[in-house]
């Protein structure tokens, strides 16, 4: 797999009007009268103070992320001027929302594909600058793909993105963007090129290079250890399952966070086979594993004062004589038995093994993420993840998501749905008895809750919709989004600072 290149990011305090770049960008606020954002004064002076009026004639509105371009006609060094919308002028004492800044910078980077150099002129402190830097790098992402022949330069990412007049931690922004890009690359990769053994090898190679401790359990080690959930799903494929454990240890750290991710590299549904329409999207069913691995890679680079252990449960859900069946009773790692009714509910089968194993590390908190249920899409749509688990941890996850711009919504565990997850012949049902679809997203969370060690604070993040996007917007490219890497990293760093 050819990895996406992360755009270079630089800072400057030079006179924007004299910058030798392909596109010079200023900020624009919406309102009854358009208002130029702070930092654009020198550029506006080069146009005799007529920029706002010119942009209004061009139809600009100042809406967040809207980009309006026109030729500079030699008024400044850059041949093209662009204005990006930042939304309304903030109230006195307030600042532009960081998510608006991320989306604005991302929109500029996306709309400037094929340009070698872009400069955004916007006075910003370190917090605002961090949002601009992150948004620019995330928005510049392009999946390398597999086309042969010469690449159309118009689709290549911006070569260098310069922030003019903004303070920002460039190294940190690059680490975060690289982690998100790594996740996007893996999720965008076709399933025939990323099967469980190969995925485990790629993870191990990246983690070893990052200085992490690495352990990979193959199908033989999984059988010897009693990882029945992963084996039930993975034994239907000739590309056998893997469980990857990565560990980061900070000297003197007093907190320990466990991360668990679902890594179904392709999901046919197994014997409960999916419809052909849309099945090609099931190459993305390993988004949770990709996210937790990329998060701990970022942790290794940023070195927060907290211990982190990540588990990626990797399997391919295929049909063969070795496939598990509806009606089977499977013994998960740790000894709990599961009555299987639907082989297409495979994600929870691999996750329960990984969760129990993660609990043996005695973490203080556990966060699990997965493209788990179609019910998440029905309930919350394509941009808001469903969060389930302990009330306090759900609230923490929602707050962290809000800080970084990843939508999260806490969901309940209603008593009536808890009851239908019981089984008459095993310790738990895999899905509701009779395969009742009511509260399907919640059923999955309830199932996972039965494998959480008693007293361990935890949360499950269902990213079935938000892990991918059918359209580009803000700093999100079409395809894999990288959700919830930035939320997970925010949670890890929050615990490091506690």
Residue 237 to residue 147: CA distance in whole angstroms: 28
Residue 479 to residue 476: CA distance in whole angstroms: 8
Task: Check if 402 is active-site.
Answer: no
Residue 348 to residue 442: CA distance in whole angstroms: 12
Residue 321 to residue 331: CA distance in whole angstroms: 19
- Retrieve residue 3's tokens: 């990895």
Residue with structure tokens 């923490």?
396
Q: 164 φ, ψ to 5°? A: -105, 120
Residues 6 or more apart in contact with residue 257 via CB below 8 angstroms: 306, 307, 308, 309, 363, 364, 365, 366, 367, 491, 492, 495
Angle at 16 between CA 10 and CA 21, to 5 degrees: 65
Residue 204 to residue 200: CA distance in whole angstroms: 6
In DSSP notation, 40-109 reads: -HHHHHHTTT-HHHHHHHTT----TT-EEEEE-TTSSSSSEEEEEEEEEPPPTT----HHHHHHHHHHHH
Q: Which of 339, 347, 351 is nearest to 434 (CA)?
A: 339
Task: Check if 348 is active-site.
Answer: yes
Q: What share of the chain is helix, strand, coil (3-state, %, to 5)?
A: 35, 25, 40
**Intra-chain end-to-end CA distance of the chain, in Å:** 39
Catalytic residue among 274, 382, 402, 478: 274
Catalytic residue among 182, 184, 348, 396: 348
Q: Which of 128, 120, 113, 158 is nearest to 6 (CA)?
A: 158
Residues 6 or more apart in contact with residue 275 via CB below 8 angstroms: none
Residue with structure tokens 């990843």?
406
Residues 6 or more apart in contact with residue 73 via CB below 8 angstroms: none
Long-range contacts made by residues 392-397, C-beta under 8 angstroms, separation at least 24? 392/457, 393/365, 393/367, 393/457, 393/458, 393/459, 394/459, 396/459, 396/491, 396/494, 397/367, 397/459, 397/461, 397/487, 397/491
In DSSP notation, 137-164 reads: HHHT--------SPPPGGGSPPSEEEEE
| Cis omega (within 30 of 0) for bond into 359 | no
Q: Which residues are catalytic?
A: 274, 348
């Amino acid at each position: 797999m050819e990895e996406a290149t992360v755009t270079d990011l630089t800072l400057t305090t030079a006179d924007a009007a004299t910058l030798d770049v392909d596109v010079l960008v200023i900020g624009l606020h919406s309102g009854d009268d358009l208002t130029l954002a702070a930092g654009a004064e020198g550029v506006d002076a080069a146009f005799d103070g007529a920029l706002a009026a010119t942009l209004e004639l061009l139809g600009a509105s100042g809406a967040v992320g809207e980009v309006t371009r026109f030729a500079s006609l030699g008024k400044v060094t850059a041949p093209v001027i662009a204005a990006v919308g930042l939304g309304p002028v903030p109230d006195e004492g307030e600042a532009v929302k960081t998510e608006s800044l991320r989306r604005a910078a991302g929109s500029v980077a996306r709309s400037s594909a094929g340009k070698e150099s872009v400069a955004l002129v916007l006075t910003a402190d370190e917090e605002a600058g961090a949002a601009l830097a992150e948004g620019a790098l995330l928005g510049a992402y392009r999946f390398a793909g597999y086309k042969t022949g010469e690449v159309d330069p118009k689709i290549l990412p911006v070569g260098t993105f310069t922030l003019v007049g903004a303070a920002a931690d460039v190294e940190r922004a690059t680490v975060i963007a690289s982690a998100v890009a790594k996740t996007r690359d893996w999720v965008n990769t076709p399933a025939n090129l990323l099967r469980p053994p190969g995925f485990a090898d790629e993870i191990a190679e990246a983690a070893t290079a990052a200085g992490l401790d690495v352990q990979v359990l193959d199908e033989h080690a999984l059988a010897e250890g009693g990882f029945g959930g992963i084996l039930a799903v993975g034994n239907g494929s000739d590309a056998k399952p893997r469980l990857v454990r990565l560990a980061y240890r900070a000297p003197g750290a007093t907190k320990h966070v466990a991360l668990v991710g679902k890594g179904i590299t392709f999901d046919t549904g197994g014997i409960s086979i999916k419809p052909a329409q849309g099945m090609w999207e099931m190459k993305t069913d390993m988004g949770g594993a990709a996210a937790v691995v990329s998060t701990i890679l970022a942790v290794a680079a940023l070195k927060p004062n907290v211990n982190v252990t990540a588990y990626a449960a990797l399997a391919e859900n295929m049909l063969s004589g070795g496939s598990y069946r509806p009606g089977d009773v499977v013994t998960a790692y740790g000894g709990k038995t599961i009555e299987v009714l639907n082989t297409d509910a495979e994600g929870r089968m691999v996750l329960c093994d990984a969760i129990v194993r993660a609990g043996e590390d005695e973490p203080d908190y556990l966060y699990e993420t997965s493209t788990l249920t179609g019910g998440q899409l029905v309930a919350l749509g394509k941009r808001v993840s469903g969060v389930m688990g302990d009330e306090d941890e759900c609230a923490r996850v929602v707050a962290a998501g809000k800080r970084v711009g990843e939508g999260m919504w806490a969901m309940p565990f209603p008593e009536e749905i808890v009851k239908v997850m019981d089984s008459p012949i095993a310790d738990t049902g895999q899905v509701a008895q009779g395969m009742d679809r009511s509260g399907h997203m919640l059923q999955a969370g309830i199932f996972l809750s039965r494998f959480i060690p008693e007293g361990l604070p935890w949360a499950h993040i269902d990213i079935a919709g938000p892990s991918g996007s059918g359209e580009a917007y803000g700093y999100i490219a079409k395809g894999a989004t990288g959700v919830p890497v930035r939320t997970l990293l925010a949670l890890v760093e929050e615990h490091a600072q506690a």
